[in-house]
Structure 1
Amino acid sequence: MAAAEVHLGSSAEGFRLLDDAERIVAPEDRSALLSQRGLLCVLVGRMDDALLHLNEGISTHSDPADHYGRATDLMNRGMLHALAGRARLAKSDLERCEAIARAAGLPLIVAKSQLNLGYCETLRGDIPAALRAFTLAGQGFAVHAPKLLAVVGIDKARALMQAGLADEAASELDEAIRLLGHARPTYERAEAALTRAQAAVAQQQFGTARSWARRAEQYFLRRGDSSRAAVAVLTRLRADFCTGKRLHRVEAEAEELAVRLRGLGLPNDAETATLLASRAATRRGYLDDARRHLVIGRGTQPVLETALLRRMATAELHLAAGRTGDALRQARSGLALLHEHRGRLGSLDLRTGAAAVASELAAIGLTTAVRQSSPARIFSWAERSRAQAFLMRPVRPPFDAETADAVAELRRLAVVIREAELARRPDVEARRRCARLEHLIRERGWHVGGDGQYHDEATLQDVAHELAAQNAVMVTFMTVDDELLAVVIADGRGGLVRLGDRPAVVEATIRLRTDLDALCGRRHPPALRAVMTNSVTHQLAVLGERLVRPFEKALADRDLVVVPTGPLAGIPWGLLDALRGRPVTVTPSASSWLRGTHAPAGEPSGSGPLLVAGPGLEFAAAEVGKIAGSLPASTVLTGDDATVAATLAHMDNRRIVHFAAHGHHEPGNILFSRLDLADGPLMAYDIGALSSAPEHVVLSSCDTGRSVMRTGDEMLGYAAAFLYSGTKTVVAGVARVADDTAVDVMSCYHELLHRGATPARALAKASLVAPLIPLVSFGS
């Protein structure tokens, strides 16, 4: 009864009932009463009292046969240690709890211990281990306590936020809040509101964050939980700080809040509040106050987020005081921490999301380097803060029975959905089921850990040496304070070029892609087609003037390597007037390009190219047939032979693979971008299953070269999936490519390739056959 009263917000009544019970409790039951009192103290935020009661309860537990009581006591103390940031002690208690519960046949306690172990692993920064634990907990709760599934969603969201996947965390929380319903506030609803506020801060939705934080604070106060209410206030202050308004109030409130949090036994949250006060003081120009806050905040063993925040606050203070070198050292130290954290992640999804966790530190380094106007230093910081996932060794996705069944069902449903669309009878239920399967498969991928191995970052000197050997120029783009900049590497040295406002370039890029898509494969009235063609010409001229003209003299007659930033990855560079007929390679980073140029050619599994024609494209079979005619050693898969299994079997370790297949770019769930084959889709997810990716891939139809650029210019897309898996070069369209146009272009391309031309040179010459074909050579 006491626990029920506290859960429903009547904490005073709950503790009164415990006081009554203590007067009549039998000696052999005293340990249970102490443990219950300790748990309820946790729920209302009295952490020091809770630890005293739980320690006494565990030490006085006299019945060795009471497995439930022993396991529960350890679980509650483990939860307390976790909330206080004592991850090692928490894990020890929770592992003992799980072992006792499993041996005693207590599945619900096992599930609860796994839930808390997941939270503990989140604190330790082992996100794959945390997500594995949450999955196991969810499976247990689904059978033994379905009402607790919402709690799994809340804790899973915390782990996803630490991995930089704020949108995914918000989705988990919205579902958890839906499951919790609209009953009177419970502890779970309060936690869901607090975590939703934290996710909104990470999403940079600061008004939403303030609203959820206030709601959470009210929920906790009604329950008498001053600790969690204080954490809700901290979340609101973080949102206020990010808006840049009323910083004097943020500083004062954060300083006062830090004292409260420390007194409540929450040292990591207290340090966060102190660091927030320091950052606010720095922004206001009160540097002595900022230093004082930093000194007061020392002394804890922080989680990753707090450790990065300390480096951020210290770097900002050094910058404001004119100590640039010290600021850069702090930024480097923070990114090294992130580097170590990312190394634990195996999933491409998590690896590419991780950059969001330290984006401000990366920005400090790059901005400071730009102010120093040193091309070598700017280049170094650009490489340190972009496309880091490409430096990691690929890890194969999981292929357990459940995942394999989900992938097979997803492929089957894709065919059902396509047939329903062709019949103009959309299958809504099949689409819903597909979305659930995609989520399951994606989540399974999150469970895979990394091996911590990285390739080295390139130096400007190394890149310049290789460019000279190839008679090429590299332009690496970046954005600083909404200004577009480029480091141009030519003739053995680098130079900084300022290119003006970023928004104008982004607008022209979007309009160009829209116009190219509209022109592709459609019959338009001549007047309308002329208008769209003129618009394409205009946007190309704008982009050429903004992005190429400033370094055109340095380019001379050499090949070009482009390292794009943000939407620039979607530009069909070969269509710009100054670049027509010129070999252009687009690469995620200079480091990945250099590694690709030095990569030894693999041993091909077949004697010639693999050519695959998918269904639904009128000219696909003609395209691969024409290519095969000039390359007689080719393996050709068309019609019913072009299945997913056959394609994967032939593609593994192949030198050249060419797809003439309808593609689908899925920006909302990029791992399931796909090509249509005879029996279903070949998904970006499937590429990771290859033991050795093909060296050279051509995607000649549709817009499978499009990508989603995450924070830190982490590239996700169908073409990018091949690059991540080890493919050296991918040729693909960044806007729609009509399959009739592709026939002659691709035939010419492969002939040139067969004669020894590089991919970029072969594409540059072959593309002259079709003036507006938006194909790009990605990689090296």
Structure 2
Amino acid sequence: MRAAANGRPSVAAQRAAAALHLITPVDDHPGLAARLLLTLAHAEAERGHTDVGLSLLDRAEVLADRADLGTVLQQRGLLLLRAGRIDEAAKLLDAAVPLLREHGEPAVLARTLLNRGVLHLTAGRIRLARADLLACRTLADEHGLRSVAAKVVHNLGSCDLATGDIPAALRAFDTSAAMLGELGAAGVQAAAMVDRARALLGAGLDMAAAEELDHAIGLLRRHRLSRDRGEAELVRAQAALGSGDLVAARLWSGRARRRFTRLGKPAWTALAALLTVRADLADALRDGVSGASRRRLLAVTRRAERLGDALRALGLRNDADVADLLALRARGAAGAAPAGGPRAAAHRPVRPDDPLDARLLRRLTRAELHRTDGQARAALAELRKGLDDLQEHRGKFGSLELQSSVAALGADLGAAGLDLSWSLSPRSSPSLIFNWSEQSRAQAFRIRPVLPPQDPHAAETLAEFRQLRLALREAELAGRAEPAIKARCAELEQRIRREGWTANGTGESRGIVTDREVQRELVRAGHRMVSYLVRRDRLHAIVLDGHTTSIVDLGDYAPVAEAVRRLLSDLDAAADRRVPERLVAVAQASAERQAAFLGRSLIASVLPMSDRRDLVVVPTRQLAVLPWGLLPELHGCPVVVAPSASVWLTARAAATSATGGAPLLVAGPDLIHADAEIDAVADWYPRGRVLRGDAATAGAMLGGMDGAAVVHVAAHGHHDTQNVLFSRLYLADGPLLAYELQRLGTAPGHVVLSACDVGRAVVRAGDELVGFTAALLHAGTASVVASVARVRDALGPTVMAQYHSAIAAGVSPARALASLPIPTPFVCFGAG
């Protein structure tokens, strides 16, 4: 029995069969035989032999006395639940509970309540699931049932996941995993990892979920848990679908479907088929409308409709609704709009306790139906409601990583809204298009930041990580490989990330600005704005000059994105001390060509050269990391870059209310001109606090930044493209991470990062920016000046002294940057 409880069904089956052999004939020991048959039935079912398990239960029921009848019923109910026969299982478990309360053992009653809780959870009845699980937890605590208690904690986490509270779900999963680890329940732990991956998918962390699942699938393969392995493969297909890898999504869902078919589990087979339908629909929609794609869409429609009926018959009503919605979308895209009954699936009420993905899909489907009916405004209203649902979901996260990654869940809503706004005529409705772009871009910046609680354990983890990172950097500079240190750093990095994911959000969100509000501020400031967007692979610019709003078509986006990548590569090569001078000249010439092309593509046809007002740029995709000051058309023109117009206005408000704390000047290690640069800058800040040498630690810098009017850092840095919030500045005791900037009580008013490329960012779906500079803006810093490409060490002292002389004289950061005698890859982000 212990082996079965700990997720080792093969061992349990062998031991139960051996025990039965010892007590043959079983009629001499009916009670013991019945219990052994129950254990053997459970183990066989877990190995994928459900029919064998049910047959063994028939034999057990004949031998069992009344005291064991409840146990037989609950076990049969469990097997049917595992097979996906929800309604049949519910009747058996309902019948078992009163019998077990009267005659059964507390452990069996606890497991029955646990299983019935899982059944309610599967059917989407969260309130009933919680009630059974809490009753089970009480029994488990009273009778020392540690394994059952761990499973209750995990399933309560699944309830949190079903209602969208992902931080609470992740906390529960972590607690449960620790409890199961103490019990040595490796097989159960592997199955629990699948639910953890589901939670990560609910936050848009598709790659993190895929890593978790790949590990879990390996463990499940070793423990021969076929049913759980099929479930893991199905969730792995969801991860592939979320990341846009439709080939992998079909591959994993096909594996799961074949496995569930062999195991005789029709409900799970149907769920795997539903995932394949989702991938096929996404593929057909990606291809556009043609005769061939129309036939594919109609085929998808028929499959989805059949699946909806099958899932409903199996008691999986929520999943049946999803199938109905997919059928509606496919039929509408094929130009065969439904009427009557099929349309009713889209117009069922959107319930707050529905899974988020189902709610967003319903909103999207309704919008498409409204558009088909010629009701564009009603369609946009549905899409806005969907994005509002997503923003409410985002507000539950205290982690900046999750706040930004969740945007991927609303990518289809954003694209549909932009396309619909455009269909209302870009010439007559540029304001509508601008306002929609603000509705769907950089929404994580609207969430009010959370100050994480002081946690001694987290502080210890971070201190160890910092020390090991310092050791690893020293080894890299010396040309030594340190695989053990590197592996430990990766382990600590993952632990720090996971702890961040469990933080609760405030639920508070700033509003979205309209074009009228932006125009008023542009007039007041004497600025103009260009907001870029991509629609159907073409780049467009929305121009706001303080009075009018207009749209300019800039052509295909792909050549522009490629030119940005080449420009950054050329700038990095030109700044690399190891590159020979003749190759530096080649890289500089190439960079000038790319900058000229980008200037013609992005600026020349958008703004008159005679207009030298400050320019606010709201970029999209790759343009977020473009060094705008290097474009010939913008030489000497003050430029500020903001992730959205809303962020720009918020940053300007922060600039006017910024505190006047003492300036902080930091010289990091191993940067040749760092001390000279800080000395030159310090002349302009007699009240400034200087950190250098051993005093320039991460803790001292973070403390000095809190509330400072100006922060200037001359230190090496690294932009981490894999784990962006681990982008870092290297200090005396190791790196200061972007992740740690969330700890600032009062963000500094203005920050200058003068070395390396920490101005770069990863741009996620919805133009969500994540990186060191973006983390400062999230924390509330009004303006950040940083480079988006490598900078030659010798450039710092002279250029930065000139820059700060202008800042000290009251010149704005964007204008101070524009006044430098030579163009640089530095960019002013935020308020300007």
Q: Tell whether the structures are fold-level matches, with TM greater than 0.5.
A: yes
Residues 299 and 264 of structure 1: CA distance in aligned 2, closer, same or farther (over 3 Å)? farther
**In the alignment, is the contact (CA less than 8 A) between 2:325 and 2:345 conserved in 1?**
no
User: Which deviations, in whole Å up to 9, do the C-alpha atoms of 1:194-243 show, x marking residues without a partner?
Assistant: 11111111111111111111111121122221101100000011111111
| Corresponding residue SS for 2:177 | helix
User: Which deviations, in whole Å up to 9, do the C-alpha atoms of 1:301-335 show, x marking residues without a partner?
Assistant: 53211111111112122223332122112111211
Selected match of 2:254 from 189, 214, 219? 214
Residue 192, structure 1, aligned to residue 247, structure 2: no
| Corresponding residue SS for 2:712 | strand
Q: Work out the CA distance in 2 between the residues paired with 1:450 and 1:538.
A: 46
Residue 345, structure 1, aligned to residue 397, structure 2: yes
Aligned to 1:202: 242
| Corresponding residue SS for 1:731 | strand
Aligned to 2:312: 262
Residue 751, structure 1, aligned to residue 805, structure 2: yes
| Corresponding residue SS for 1:746 | helix
Q: Work out the CA distance in 1 between the residues paired with 2:768 and 2:581.
A: 41
Aligned to 1:368: 420
- Counting only pairs closer than 5 Å after superposition, residues 706-745 of structure 1 correspond to structure 2 as 706-745=760-799
**In the alignment, is the contact (CA less than 8 A) between 1:694 and 1:727 conserved in 2?**
yes
Q: Work out the CA distance in 2 between the residues paired with 1:182 and 1:636.
A: 57
**Displacement, 1:633?**
1.7
Q: Work out the CA distance in 1 between the residues paired with 2:265 and 2:346.
A: 24
**Displacement, 1:353?**
1.1
Deviates more, 1:717-726 or 1:391-400: 391-400
- Counting only pairs closer than 5 Å after superposition, residues 275-424 of structure 1 correspond to structure 2 as 275-288=325-338, 292-296=341-345, 301=351, 302-372=354-424, 373=426, 374-424=429-479
Aligned to 1:636: 690
Q: Work out the CA distance in 1 between the residues paired with 2:190 and 2:772.
A: 33
Amino acid at match of 1:669: N
Residue 654, structure 1, aligned to residue 708, structure 2: yes
Amino acid at match of 1:779: G
Amino acid at match of 2:574: L
The alignment covers a number of residue pairs equal to 775
Residue 778, structure 1, aligned to residue 829, structure 2: yes
Q: Work out the CA distance in 2 between the residues paired with 1:454 and 1:299.
A: 28
**In the alignment, is the contact (CA less than 8 A) between 1:602 and 1:655 conserved in 2?**
no
Residue 533, structure 1, aligned to residue 588, structure 2: yes
Residue 66, structure 1, aligned to residue 105, structure 2: yes
Selected match of 1:475 from 516, 522, 530? 530
**In the alignment, is the contact (CA less than 8 A) between 1:622 and 1:743 conserved in 2?**
yes
Q: Work out the CA distance in 1 between the residues paired with 2:689 and 2:613.
A: 35
Q: Work out the CA distance in 1 between the residues paired with 2:60 and 2:794.
A: 83
- Counting only pairs closer than 5 Å after superposition, residues 597-608 of structure 1 correspond to structure 2 as 597-599=652-654, 601=656, 604=659, 606=661, 608=662
TM-score (norm 1): 0.97
**In the alignment, is the contact (CA less than 8 A) between 2:250 and 2:276 conserved in 1?**
yes
Aligned to 1:241: 281
User: Which deviations, in whole Å up to 9, do the C-alpha atoms of 1:614-642 show, x marking residues without a partner?
Assistant: 00110011100111123222111111110
- Counting only pairs closer than 5 Å after superposition, residues 68-107 of structure 1 correspond to structure 2 as 68-107=107-146
**In the alignment, is the contact (CA less than 8 A) between 2:71 and 2:104 conserved in 1?**
no
User: Which deviations, in whole Å up to 9, do the C-alpha atoms of 1:127-154 show, x marking residues without a partner?
Assistant: 1111111111111111111232211221
**In the alignment, is the contact (CA less than 8 A) between 1:473 and 1:561 conserved in 2?**
yes
**Displacement, 1:181?**
2.7
Q: Work out the CA distance in 1 between the residues paired with 2:829 and 2:347.
A: 47
Q: Work out the CA distance in 1 between the residues paired with 2:370 and 2:657.
A: 49
Give RMSD over aligned pairs.
1.7
TM-score (norm 2): 0.91
Q: Work out the CA distance in 1 between the residues paired with 2:658 and 2:135.
A: 50
Amino acid at match of 1:349: E
Amino acid at match of 2:89: A
Amino acid at match of 2:600: E
Residues 149 and 399 of structure 1: CA distance in aligned 2, closer, same or farther (over 3 Å)? farther
Aligned to 1:442: 497
Residues 146 and 184 of structure 1: CA distance in aligned 2, closer, same or farther (over 3 Å)? closer
**In the alignment, is the contact (CA less than 8 A) between 1:398 and 1:444 conserved in 2?**
no
Q: Work out the CA distance in 2 between the residues paired with 1:201 and 1:491.
A: 42
| Corresponding residue SS for 2:760 | coil
Selected match of 1:17 from 39, 42, 56? 56
Residue 51, structure 1, aligned to residue 90, structure 2: yes
Aligned to 2:15: none
**In the alignment, is the contact (CA less than 8 A) between 2:609 and 2:633 conserved in 1?**
no
Residues 423 and 194 of structure 1: CA distance in aligned 2, closer, same or farther (over 3 Å)? same
Q: Work out the CA distance in 1 between the residues paired with 2:79 and 2:97.
A: 16
Amino acid at match of 1:40: L
User: Which deviations, in whole Å up to 9, do the C-alpha atoms of 1:668-695 show, x marking residues without a partner?
Assistant: 0011110000011111111111111111
Q: Work out the CA distance in 2 between the residues paired with 1:42 and 1:113.
A: 17
Selected match of 2:207 from 159, 167, 170? 167
**Displacement, 1:164?**
1.3
| Corresponding residue SS for 1:599 | helix
Q: Work out the CA distance in 1 between the residues paired with 2:790 and 2:223.
A: 50
Residues 752 and 64 of structure 1: CA distance in aligned 2, closer, same or farther (over 3 Å)? farther
Amino acid at match of 1:580: H
Selected match of 2:563 from 508, 512, 521? 508
Deviates more, 1:405-414 or 1:700-709: 405-414
Amino acid at match of 1:550: S
Selected match of 2:606 from 545, 551, 555? 551
Selected match of 2:217 from 157, 161, 177? 177
**In the alignment, is the contact (CA less than 8 A) between 1:605 and 1:652 conserved in 2?**
no
User: Which deviations, in whole Å up to 9, do the C-alpha atoms of 1:104-141 show, x marking residues without a partner?
Assistant: 32221111111111212111111111111111111111
**In the alignment, is the contact (CA less than 8 A) between 1:6 and 1:223 conserved in 2?**
no
Amino acid at match of 2:344: V
User: Which deviations, in whole Å up to 9, do the C-alpha atoms of 1:701-739 show, x marking residues without a partner?
Assistant: 000000000100010000111110111111000011122
Q: Work out the CA distance in 2 between the residues paired with 1:147 and 1:649.
A: 45
| Corresponding residue SS for 2:766 | coil
Q: Work out the CA distance in 1 between the residues paired with 2:111 and 2:453.
A: 33
**Displacement, 1:91?**
1.8
Selected match of 2:641 from 575, 586, 592? 586
Amino acid at match of 1:7: E
Q: Work out the CA distance in 2 between the residues paired with 1:497 and 1:110.
A: 61
Aligned to 1:158: 198
**In the alignment, is the contact (CA less than 8 A) between 1:270 and 1:297 conserved in 2?**
no
Residue 621, structure 1, aligned to residue 654, structure 2: no
**Displacement, 1:292?**
4.1
| Corresponding residue SS for 2:687 | coil
Residue 701, structure 1, aligned to residue 752, structure 2: no
User: Which deviations, in whole Å up to 9, do the C-alpha atoms of 1:502-540 show, x marking residues without a partner?
Assistant: 001100000000000000143655543332222111101
**In the alignment, is the contact (CA less than 8 A) between 2:154 and 2:176 conserved in 1?**
yes
**In the alignment, is the contact (CA less than 8 A) between 2:759 and 2:788 conserved in 1?**
yes
**Displacement, 1:298?**
5.9
User: Which deviations, in whole Å up to 9, do the C-alpha atoms of 1:390-413 show, x marking residues without a partner?
Assistant: 111001235423222211110010
User: Which deviations, in whole Å up to 9, do the C-alpha atoms of 1:467-494 show, x marking residues without a partner?
Assistant: 1111110111111111111111103221
**Displacement, 1:299?**
5.1
Greater than 6 Å deviation, 4+ residue runs: none
**Displacement, 1:423?**
2.3
**In the alignment, is the contact (CA less than 8 A) between 1:2 and 1:17 conserved in 2?**
yes
| Corresponding residue SS for 1:288 | coil
| Corresponding residue SS for 2:529 | strand
Amino acid at match of 2:588: T
Q: Work out the CA distance in 1 between the residues paired with 2:581 and 2:82.
A: 71
Unaligned runs of 5+ in 1: none
Q: Work out the CA distance in 1 between the residues paired with 2:432 and 2:610.
A: 22
Q: Work out the CA distance in 1 between the residues paired with 2:576 and 2:538.
A: 36
